[in-house]
Amino acid sequence: MAGKNYDSKDIVVLEGLDAVRLRPGMYIGTTGPKGYHHLLWEIVDNAIDEISNGYGDTISITLNKDGSATVEDNGRGIPVDEHPTMHKSGVEVVYTTLHAGGKFNNSNYKFSGGLHGVGASVTNALSKFCNVTVYKGGKEYFIGFHSFKDEKGKMHSGVPVAPLKMVGSTKKTGTKVTFLPDEEMFGSLKFNFETIAVRARELAFLNKGLRLVLKDENDGREEVFHYEGGISDFVSYLVEGKSKLFSKPVYFNAEEDNFDLEVAFIYTDSYTESSFSFVNNIPTIEGGTHETGFKNAFTKVMNAYARSSGLLKEKESNFLGEDFREGITCVINVKMTNVQFEGQTKTKLGNPEARTIVESLTTKKLTAFFEEKKNGTIGEVIIGKAKGAAKVREAAKKAKELTRAKNSAENFNLVGKLAAATSRNREQCELFIVEGDSAGGSAKQGRDRRFQAILPLRGKPLNAEKKRIDQVLANEEIRTIISALDTGIGEDFDLSSLRYNKVIILSDADQDGAHIRAILLTFFFRYMRELINDGHVFVGLPPLYKVYKKDYTEYVYSDEELPQAIARVGRGYSLQRYKGLGEMNPEQLWETTMDPEKRNLIQVSIDDAAEAERIVTTLMGDDIEARKKYINTYANFDREDDFFKNYKNG
């Protein structure tokens, strides 16, 4: 395939460029940090698509001093000849026309991610300038685009400065794009090195042999991501700091028609499943048919192995899938054509044929793997882990049934703990999980009882990262939360039963409060992840200070804000430092932290599930040195950062 020509006739045009600036959310989701970085990923995705299809092996991402970013690859280079119907260069078509690209048929790109032709033109439309250099056929070509207002104030987005021009000779092949997101759309946002590094590392894992270089010209930082082991290295990276049950990940790959599958997995002594799937480099955080196919096959093969090896007796029941998945860390990487994602967010694969193909290929490969005598030890380890999980499952069965029981005094004694909302409209209702009886009392008095429910915690919940599910369910505070939400947990989780649209963690602004937040978020991540994925989990931000005098009061939410607040209040001010929520009376708690018109909420999201897995393991697991190292490297205790600024008044 590597010798196939790629010309302008291969670019299929569906429709012209629309007014992207009028509705940027339709194309990049948000004009916050996530949307800002989305512009970069659309250009990177184009480079990745070249490499995924066998053209080139290196991508560089450079953050320039003027705030722009440069992405360069050594693929084939965007077509530079004249398009047969648009009568302009292929480069200009790609960067000025929505839904224009070489990915709508399968002759040039066997696999592709991104937004299928939307990406490059959207990045151009939302940038102050976008310069494209193409190295192709021994020649170097250049075209520049810019966005500007004419003398009448009308905006012109992504307009070519001049037609494509041949500017020299070269031995290189590929495409280089430099663009600066327009501050009119994004304000003072900047590219974040750490955010980019997380995704760059993931892309390098998913594309074995890819060399991805990330540089920041502002401070000289540089990281090179290159993994010859591909997703095997990915799995090893994810379980760093955990106790592995065998030495290296099990890996297999298989192909069928235009469908490539590779899987890597390993077991640790943890009690939860950590599975991550990707389709054409896109994370499918909600799973889909490919995950279903793998899980079905894995359960069948392992039960068959258990019986054939005598580890499961004739009269004993088969293990359940969840038994085999306890302690597994697994990456499923699929590349396929004609991808159908469910919903606009591309987080769940819907192709029915993917389940059948993955199930068939996995059955064939795993059966062959366990037929080899040298792999018998691994099989025995997995069966042994499943036996332990099955015993715990039985022990937890009654506890799960109890947690699904309705709110009643004889079950979890929610009466007297939970102050319920009077409304039955789940879309309007919200639950505050509040640290301590004192703060809980203030919250109960200060709330709007029509739609706000209060659940005070009377002790520190269990760290779910270190305990089996039966131990988690034995913790009274955890059981109370499960019962209040009414969703069940783990395999039994049912989002449709959720009683509250917002679940808000409200704890003190100190170390103990931060620890309680971390414990609760870990529990939600491990056993109610869909609650986070669907946008229901929030963190409430109480004020740190009250600055006031007789006729004026101002609440302050960070140390950085304090001097300006003092200046606004003026001479003769008094200052109160809140050590905890319990120090606020009901009116103050309502006004600062609970009133939907004034409060500050952070919505908890999982932008990268695999990296979230690693962070939770590091911060909440047993490896103390890894935790210290992470905190020293990344911890930022100033709440007035970009993340906080972009989620105020939620």
Q: Which residues are catalytic?
A: 435, 508, 510, 512
Q: Which among 98, 70, 103 has a CA at the least distance from the CA of 158?
A: 98
Residue 412 CB partners (closer than 8 Å, separation 6+): 402, 403, 405, 476, 479, 480, 483
CA distance 424 to 454: 15
Question: Coil, strand or helix: which one is 472?
Answer: helix
Residue with tokens 């041949």, as numbered in its chain: 166
Q: Would you say 79 and 90 are in contact if contact means Cβ atoms under 8 Å apart?
A: yes
In whole angstroms, give the CA distance from residue 93 to residue 87: 9
Region for residue 520 given its phi and psi (left: phi exceeds 0; alpha: psi -120 to 50; beta: otherwise): alpha
Angle in degrees, CA 270, 275, 278, rounded to 5 = 155
Residue 427 CB neighbours (<10 A): 9
Q: Which amino acid is at 92?
A: E
Where do the DSSP E strands lie in 322-479? 328-336, 430-435, 452-457
Ramachandran region, residue 642 (left: φ > 0; alpha: ψ -120 to 50; beta: rest) = alpha
CA distance 444 to 453: 8
Picking from 335, 348, 328, 347, the residue whose alpha carbon sits closest to that of residue 238 is 328
How far apart CA 650 and CA 597 sit, in angstroms, is: 9
Rounded to a whole number, what is the distance in angstroms from the first to the last CA of the chain?
Answer: 50
- Selection from 429, 636, 602 nearest residue 521 by Cα: 602
Helix axes 624-634, 609-620, angle to 10 degrees: 120
Nearest to 177 by CA among 107, 249, 102, 123: 123
How are beta strands 452-457 and 430-435 bridged, if at all?
parallel
